[in-house]
């Protein structure tokens, strides 16, 4: 247990050291910070702390009197008094003067009329300009003709500091909010760039691996082709992002991946079909090839044979059937080229040009033969 004198000593040191707990405990060696807080709360609740513990005044009564007399005898100027004496600050000196001579303080007036104080409307407009500031507070004070401190004093008198802070928070966006918004925008743009780069790499791999046209859309690829592209880019991008951009389900991806690893069960059949097709002048259709496979002992359906022929590009070349034409050539030899591409004439009816054009109409054929004079 601690005596009352020890508690008072600890509390006095607490106020002496600027209300800091750690220096008191370090110097006295007692009590704990928790107990010291409890002593201080009990001491303040009893009203003894503020009355018993008093700080030493910074300025003596003699210094105060000298400063006030200098202020009254030299034009009542706070700054002119503080500058030669070296003490105190203007706010402290103003408090001293207001306390001893409340009616001797000089009132702040405008520069245009040094006798009359500012009108309430002028103060209200100044405070409004301060709260919705487009320029600095110093510039607003300079335009009105007062100091910056006076401008803030008017603000406290009219709206108070709490309302002013609320207005500032409402009107001026927080720098942290702007920084967070910019960071989110940068992250969104980086994600969009990454997605576009991924789509570009997918199209390049489609051209390289699957031999697709560079202008092809990703949606036109089948699941097997998408699986090949995803395997090729899996070391560069996460699989989840690749499947999302490709529009491929995860189960479909692993199904086709397992099918690709298992290999082609028709590899031998493909070789047999290709060799037989090429050795027979590329004229065998799917029926002849299907019969050949049955003869060799491989039983496949005709649909499988047709699909393998399409995948191996085994297409039979056929001569195109031509339409009937009764044209048998010119009856007489072609006439000489008398015009020789000279389409100018010196007089009318000297050179005529003509041609025949045939038109197919629902009612039959129509021939047009215009005649043009070269003059």
Evaluated on CA atoms 150, 155, 158, 161, the torsion sign reads negative
Q: Taking Cα atoms as reference points, which of 364, 323, 302 lies closest to residue 292? A: 302
pLDDT category of residue 249 using cuts at 50, 70 and 90: very high
Give the CB-side neighbour count of residue 115, counting CA atoms within 13 A. 0
pTM of the model: 0.34
Q: What is the pLDDT of residues 43-92, one digit of tens each?
A: 888 765 444 444 456 778 888 888 888 888 877 777 778 778 877 887 78
Mind giving me the DSSP string for 316-345?
---PPPPPP------SSPPPP-SSTT----
State how far Cα 195 lies from the chain centre. 14
In this predicted model, what pLDDT tens digit does every residue of 105-146 receive, in sequence order? 655 544 444 444 677 888 888 888 888 878 888 888 888 878
Calculate the average pLDDT of the chain.
83
Q: Give the per-residue pLDDT at 303.
A: 95
pLDDT attached to residue 208: 85
Residue carrying the six token digits 């002048």: 281
Rounded to an integer, what distance in angstroms lies between the CA atom of residue 179 and that of residue 175?
6
Query: Would you state the pLDDT for residue 115?
Result: 42
Highest mean pLDDT among 96-110, 241-255, 311-325: 241-255
Task: Check: CB of residue 78 under 8 Å from CB of residue 68.
Answer: no
| Distance separating alpha carbons of residues 215 and 207, to the nearest angstrom | 9
Q: What phi and psi values does residue 360 have, to the nearest 5 degrees?
A: -95, 120
Contacts of range 15-24, beta carbons closer than 8 Å, 24 or more positions apart: 15/49, 15/53, 15/55, 16/55
Whether 303 and 290 have beta carbons less than 8 Å apart is answered as no
């Amino acid at each position: 247990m601690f005596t009352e004198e020890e508690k008072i000593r600890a509390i006095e040191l607490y106020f002496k050291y600027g209300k800091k707990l750690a220096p008191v405990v370090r110097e006295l060696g007692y009590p704990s910070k928790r107990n010291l807080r409890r002593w201080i709360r009990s001491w303040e609740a009893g009203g003894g702390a503020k009355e018993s513990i008093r700080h030493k005044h910074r300025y003596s009564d003699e210094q105060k009197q000298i400063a006030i007399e200098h202020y009254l005898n030299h034009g009542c100027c706070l700054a002119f008094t503080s500058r030669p004496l070296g003490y105190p600050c203007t706010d402290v000196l103003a408090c001293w003067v207001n306390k001893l001579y409340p009616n001797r303080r000089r009132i702040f007036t405008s520069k245009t009329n040094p006798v009359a104080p500012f009108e309430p409307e002028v103060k209200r407009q100044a405070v409004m300009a301060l709260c919705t500031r487009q320029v600095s507070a110093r510039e607003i004070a300079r335009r009105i003709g007062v100091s910056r401190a006076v401008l803030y004093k008017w603000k406290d008198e009219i709206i108070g500091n709490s309302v002013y802070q609320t207005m500032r928070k409402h009107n001026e966006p927080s720098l942290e909010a702007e920084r967070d918004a910019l960071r989110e925008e940068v992250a969104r743009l980086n994600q969009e760039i990454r997605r576009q780069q991924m789509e570009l790499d997918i199209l390049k791999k489609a051209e390289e691996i699957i031999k697709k046209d560079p202008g092809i859309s990703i949606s036109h690829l089948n699941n097997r082709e998408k699986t090949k592209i995803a395997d090729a880019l899996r070391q560069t991008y996460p699989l989840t992002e690749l499947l999302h951009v490709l529009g491929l389900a995860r189960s479909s991806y692993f199904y086709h991946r397992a099918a690709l690893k298992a290999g082609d069960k028709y590899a031998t059949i493909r070789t047999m079909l290709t060799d037989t097709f090429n050795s027979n002048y590329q004229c065998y259709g799917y029926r002849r090839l299907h019969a050949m496979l049955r003869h060799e002992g491989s039983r496949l359906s005709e649909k499988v044979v047709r699909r393998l022929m399409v995948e191996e590009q085994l297409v039979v070349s056929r001569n195109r059937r031509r339409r009937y034409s009764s044209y048998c050539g010119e009856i007489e030899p072609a006439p000489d080229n008398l015009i020789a591409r000279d389409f100018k004439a010196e007089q009318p009816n000297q050179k005529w040009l003509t041609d025949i054009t045939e038109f197919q109409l629902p009612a039959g054929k129509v021939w047009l033969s215009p005649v043009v004079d070269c003059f």
